[in-house]
Structure 1
Amino acid sequence: MVGGDVLVRFSMVQKTYDGEALVVKNLDLDIHRGEFLTLLGPSGSGKTTTLMMLAGFEVPTYGEITLNGKAINSLPPHKRNIGMVFQNYALFPHMTVAQNVAFPLEVRKVPKAEIGAKVAHALDMVQLAEFGKRRPAQLSGGQQQRVALARALVFDPELVLMDEPLGALDKQLREHMQMEIKHLHERLGITVVYVTHDQSEALTMSDRVAVFHGGVIQQIAAPDILYEQPKNAFVANFIGENNNLHGRIETIDGDRCTVVLDGGARVQATRVNVYGADMPTVLSIRPERLYIGDSPTDVTNRLTGTVVESIYLGDHLRVVMEVPGGSSLMIKMQARPNLSQPKPGDRIELSFRAEDCHAHAPLKVAAGDA
């Protein structure tokens, strides 16, 4: 998907509501035709404001947004040919399902003779072909969200925006709808821009994810790159589960560095955005990349710590350890028959590879690093 024609371009876009604080800061972003791009971040990070500017419900304070090469800053929402799906569905309760789906066609003055077929096709796409005569109140939450999706797709937009569309659903239905939307995107080849604060949802559905923090895109990449190669401490902590160790850079050699941890131990790490000796650093390590007991032969680092907690979770053990310097580390161990489960108070060794340990600048330094 990524690498094709640019459908949407944000150029140096800024947004402020009070004339002082920038909610979105100098945003440069290309969205490619046919891709599924998720804007991910905590509340107040700028992701929803970015989506609303693209939809036309907010106007940039500075900069330009183009769609198919044409500036759309001053174009009203209904003239942008963009489908929109909201968290609260925004269905008309007095209309039937079919009437709700037909509404965008009527607004666009589509001939009545064509509307019926287009509505039937849209409802069929979301597996609601038999529900056209019902009203929204007669549907479940998941069915209502499908109606909202059909309404967004019925006029064949080249771009569909989704603002936390699954936020009101329970976990099981939410996960089911994630896959439905993902498969629908793959089938239709439309461009989707999706906003969520749920990082697992973003990783599941997206071709690329743009991680927002403080009005800035901290990193934009495919889900596996974000998880395996976070660009700074914020991304490392926001995407997936993560462990942090604090220390100072002792030496740097190419893309590797030696770090003296707060507890005095020395470890080898992969250098990300640290640049000189004696610089403070935060090391990030994923729980599944820490080993207890049997470990790969190429591990570089070994620390001895005390088990604080050990929980059996069926397919894996979750072990929390305290290591010198007062840091707590969480380890995921794959469960297997006859596995000896560590017990609180046990003193044991854990190990990890240098390539699985990333040295970042502390968060206060890294926060503005795009």
Structure 2
Amino acid sequence: MNESLQQERNDSASETSHAAEAHFVRFINVQKSYDGVELVVKGFDLDIHKGEFVTLLGPSGSGKTTCLMMMAGFETPTHGQILLKGEPINDLPPHKRGIGMVFQNYALFPHMSVAENLAFPLEVRRLSKAEIKRKVARALAMVRLENFGDRRPAQLSGGQQQRVALARALVFEPELVLMDEPLGALDKNLREEMQYEIKRIHAELGVSMIYVTHDQTEALTMSDRIAVFNDGVVQQLAAPETLYEAPENAFVANFIGENNRLYGEVTEMIGDKCQVRLDSGETVLAKPVAAGGIGARTTLSLRPERVDIAASGAEASFDNRFRAEVREVIYLGDHLRTRVSVCGTDEFILKTPNAKHYASLRPGQSVDIGWSSSDCRALDA
């Protein structure tokens, strides 16, 4: 009987542990208004698993940074609840949340050495000198700055300063790290280098990370999941490949990656396809994702790399095939970016691998282009 009772307790403890990991961070119907009238964040719901890397992505003013500041404790929700490990933290001050934070401007103490900057959060927590020395050395090794402990921030490059800021956020071994546009001040090469560095550290430590950016490349490169924000509302929450390949609405399709847009009206539903009459008069077959019914206005979304050039006069092998006129050809090494006039627009883009030997394309040339209906998504108007 006692063994049975103990097993039930063990099972219950295990379920509680799994639930805590599955809902490590929770935003439940969170709203935020600064003036009491206009909502900056509107009914935000999000569950983040332990060890997950989640990016809040969106244009300026979309509400993503406000959500991060509420998680950090620098802002208070107007409505709703934020939970960390199952415990509500709305009224908990920032220093008691045990969360690491990395800012765009580094926020390093200029009068302290790198090692002293890293030691500061440990001294606040009253660790022993030996423990502080060990943790600082470990953090410096983690960001590959073992020999930079005696330098001042002003003696470091921008990339090195950002590594120090990251090390300081991780030195006290938090379970959650928040990053607010941390790479925004770096040049392109350094930014790309730091993307992979942060991804490597995340994989090594298994720490949960919430990352805010308006840069879609950063989000696609680093994230397990991405929440796309617009006007205080999450438009879609999904893995990077899902957001790119299967956007649920026109905003996400346009914000993530390059995208051809065609506008028209649904005229017929044919099994798992819909027929759309474009404003320019052509008829296109597409996949109905958020198109509404017959007679509804719709935006067709089509990635440039999903369009191909067909041999002139060859038997049609696409659901959709049209005659186009080449307007511009740009050589980009591994692929060609070709702008054509078709279906009532002069801004239709094709991306074709250079291996296909389309280098002979010239402005003014007529070509047949085509695409599959499964790659053409009929979205909201």
Q: TM-score, normalised by structure 1?
A: 0.94
Conservation of the 8 A alpha-carbon contact between 2:247 and 2:253: yes
Aligned residues: CA RMSD: 1.6
Q: Distance in 1 between matches of 2:190 and 2:196?
A: 10
Q: Aligned equivalents of 2:315 and 2:130: distance in 1?
A: 67
Q: Quick one: which of 232, 235, 253 aligns to 1:215?
A: 232
Instruction: Provide Cα deviations, 1:299-343, integer angstroms capped at 9, x if missing partner.
Output: 210111221111112111111111132352100111137535322
Match of 2:371 in 1: 352
Distance in 2 separating the partners of 1:156 and 1:46: 28
Change (3 A) 1:309 1:132: same
Q: For 2:357 and 2:75, how far apart are their aligned partners in 1?
A: 59
User: Could you list the runs of 5+ residues in structure 1 that have no partner in the other structure?
Assistant: 363-370
Residue deviations 1:253-289, cap 9 Å, x none? 3432100111111111001112211111110000000
1:30 shift after superposition: 0.4
Which secondary structure does the structure 2 equivalent of 1:336 belong to?
A: helix
For residues 307 and 339 of structure 1, do their structure 2 counterparts lie closer, same or farther at Cα, with a shift above 3 Å needed? closer
**TM-score using structure 2 length:** 0.92
- Confirm whether residue 178 of structure 1 aligns to residue 210 of structure 2: no
CA distance in 1, matches of 2:250, 2:236: 11
* Equivalent-residue separation in structure 1 for 2:295 and 2:163 (angstroms): 55
Distance 1:337 1:50 in 2: 46
Give the corresponding residue for 2:146. 129
Q: What secondary structure is seen at the aligned counterpart in 1 of 2:122? A: helix
> 1:227, 1:239 within 8 Å by CA — same for their partners in 2?
yes
Contact in 1 for aligned 2:21/2:85 (Cα 8 Å)? no
For residue 90 of structure 1, report the CA deviation from its aligned partner: 0.2
1:307 matched to 2:326: yes
For 1:264 and 1:273, how far apart are their aligned partners in 2? 21
Q: Distance in 2 between matches of 1:40 and 1:119?
A: 32
C-alpha distance after superposition, 1:222-246 (max 9, x if no partner): 0000000001000000001100011
Return the offset for 1:73: 0.4
Structure 1 CA distance for aligned equivalents of residues 188 and 201 of structure 2: 20
C-alpha change, 1:70 and 1:113, in structure 2 (3 Å) is same
Does residue 236 of the first structure (1) align with residue 253 of the second (2)? yes
Q: Does 1:65 align with 2:86?
A: no
Equivalent residue for 1:28? Answer: 45
Matches within 5 A, 1:155-304: 155-294=172-311, 298-304=317-323
* Partner in structure 2 of residue 37 of structure 1: 54
Identity of aligned residues (%): 61
Q: Could you say which residue in structure 2 is the equivalent of 1:54?
A: 71
Length, aligned pairs only = 360
The answer on whether the counterparts of 1:64 and 1:73 sit within 8 Å (CA) in structure 2 is: yes
Structure 2 residues without counterparts, runs of 5 or longer = 1-19
- AA paired with 1:67? L
Q: Deviations over 1:148-204 (max 9, x none)?
A: 011000111000000011111110111011001001000100000000000011000
For the pair 1:342 / 2:347, whether they are aligned, the reply is: no
SS across alignment from 2:123: helix
**Structure 2 CA distance, aligned partners of 1:238 and 1:292?**
26
Aligned to 1:119: 136
1:11 counterpart residue number: 28
| Contact 1:245–1:327 (Cα < 8 Å) also in 2 | no
Letter in 2 for 1:239: I
Segment drifting more, 137-146 vs 328-337? 328-337
Does 1:101 find its partner at 2:106?
no
Query: 1:298: Cα distance to partner?
Result: 4.8
The answer to whether the 8 A contact 1:310-1:341 is kept is no
The structure with the largest alpha-carbon Rg is 2
- For 2:37 and 2:365, the matched residues in 1 are separated by 54
Letter in 2 for 1:270: K
Q: Which residue of structure 2 aligns with residue 329 of structure 1? A: 348
TM-superposed deviation, 1:6: 1.4
